[in-house]
A = this chain, B = another copy of it.
């Protein structure tokens, strides 16, 4: 255990692309837990598109990070000191914490990761703690795909999108994914079994979607908003469903632009529904059980991109918005 703590703090709200002065990174004292709290050593930090939302003061689903507060993140760590009877030293916990080597937790924010069986902690944390349940509930509960229907997913080589497409295949759907490079397209097509992959940077999105979806679109799992949302809206079938998981194209935008084809919601009697996986917390065990089984059977493959060092967190986060990363981004501070 190092005796030095390092903390990323939010210093200004990003405007447009995330700049380096948005966060500061500095040495600080290791905090002491009060009654009911515990101190953890950070093992893994999850980097997710939603981090950009928390940095901003746009309308959002929980309070934004306050200026000068530690940056918020989904963390996995080990309890070092505890003043809570249910959390013992050495216990592995995950939940909402901060970008810092040492930090305080409580049952309100973190819960035991539990026995991960044959699955490595880093894989359990990266796939099962957040992105897997997001894909599971967002596709199945919100999108409600039926066998034979066409499911389109954007950011399809991303952590959530890649799982969405594989679940849709398990459910017997025709699955089309959009990703930002030929390598990503090859991965979701060849390795993950999508029926069709579209490189949205090099192809005409609408033409490619028309060709890939001869029967129209029944479910669009939206991670991005923007032009891809508009193109999908135009092709939605009667009573189609749009599961709104993210709008990453808008997070760095200085001016929000709504979808020009919004009227398709009326014309095709669509259901557009936003969701946040945290709303499904009580049903996580259902998702984790299904996902674990599919992973064990080889029906769901995941790619985790592990970057070492908390000091690399900001530079690595930026790659989420430029499309450079593939799969789930994890910062590793200390392996378990």
Question: Given A257-B260, A258-B258, A262-B256, are A273 and B276 also a contact pair (CB < 8 Å)?
Answer: no
With a CB–CB cut-off of 8 A, which chain B residues contact A225?
262-263
With a CB–CB cut-off of 8 A, which chain B residues contact A257?
258, 260
Across the interface, do B250 and A263 meet the contact criterion of CB distance under 8 Å?
A: yes
Across the interface, do A256 and B265 meet the contact criterion of CB distance under 8 Å?
A: no
Question: Given A59-B234, A234-B59, are A265 and B272 also a contact pair (CB < 8 Å)?
Answer: yes
Partner of A275, one of B58, B234, B258, B269: B269
8 Å CB interface, A239-282 against B: 244-247, 250, 255-276, 279
Q: How far is the CA of A184 from the CA of B245 in the complex (A)?
A: 40
With a CB–CB cut-off of 8 A, which chain B residues contact A256?
260-263
Partner of A258, one of B246, B261, B279: B261
Across the interface, do B265 and A244 meet the contact criterion of CB distance under 8 Å?
A: yes
Q: Least Cβ distance of A144 to chain B in Å? A: 13
Asked whether any CB of chain B lies closer than 8 Å to the CB of A60, the reply is yes
Question: Given A59-B234, A234-B59, A272-B273, are A246 and B259 also a contact pair (CB < 8 Å)?
Answer: no
Q: How far is the CA of A269 from the CA of B275 in the complex (A)?
A: 5
Question: Given A59-B234, A234-B59, are A267 and B274 also a contact pair (CB < 8 Å)?
Answer: yes
Q: How far is the CA of A183 from the CA of B271 in the complex (A)?
A: 35
8 Å CB interface, A267-311 against B: 267-276, 279
Across the interface, do A258 and B262 meet the contact criterion of CB distance under 8 Å?
A: yes
Question: Given A256-B260, A258-B261, A260-B258, are A267 and B61 also a contact pair (CB < 8 Å)?
Answer: yes
Across the interface, do A274 and B279 meet the contact criterion of CB distance under 8 Å?
A: no
Partner of A61, one of B230, B234, B261, B269: B269
Q: Looking across the interface, which residue of chain B has its beta carbon closest to that of A266?
A: B274
Q: How far is the CA of A271 from the CA of B242 in the complex (A)?
A: 10
Q: Least Cβ distance of A90 to chain B in Å? A: 37
Partner of A271, one of B247, B260, B271: B271
Interface size classification for chain A: 35 or more
Q: Looking across the interface, which residue of chain B has its beta carbon closest to that of A241?
A: B273
With a CB–CB cut-off of 8 A, which chain B residues contact A250?
263
Question: Given A271-B272, A274-B270, are A264 and B234 also a contact pair (CB < 8 Å)?
Answer: no
Question: Given A59-B264, A263-B59, A263-B225, are A269 and B276 also a contact pair (CB < 8 Å)?
Answer: yes
Q: Least Cβ distance of A187 to chain B in Å? A: 26
Q: Looking across the interface, which residue of chain B has its beta carbon closest to that of A222?
A: B266
Q: Least Cβ distance of A221 to chain B in Å? A: 13
Q: How far is the CA of A256 from the CA of B274 in the complex (A)?
A: 23
Question: Given A59-B264, A262-B259, are A272 and B269 also a contact pair (CB < 8 Å)?
Answer: no
Q: Least Cβ distance of A220 to chain B in Å? A: 13
With a CB–CB cut-off of 8 A, which chain B residues contact A274?
265-271
Please give the residue numbers on chain A whose beta carbons come within 8 Å of chain B beta carbons, in ascending order.
58-61, 225, 230, 234, 244-247, 250, 255-276, 279
Smallest CB-CB A-B distances: 7 pairs: A258-B258, A266-B274, A258-B259, A265-B274, A272-B272, A258-B262, A271-B273
6 more contacts with CB within 8 A, not counting A244-B266, A256-B262, A269-B274, are A59-B268, A61-B266, A250-B263, A262-B262, A265-B272, A270-B273
The contact sample of 12 A-B pairs, CB cut-off 8 A, is: A59-B264, A225-B262, A230-B258, A256-B260, A256-B263, A258-B259, A258-B260, A259-B262, A265-B272, A269-B274, A269-B276, A271-B274
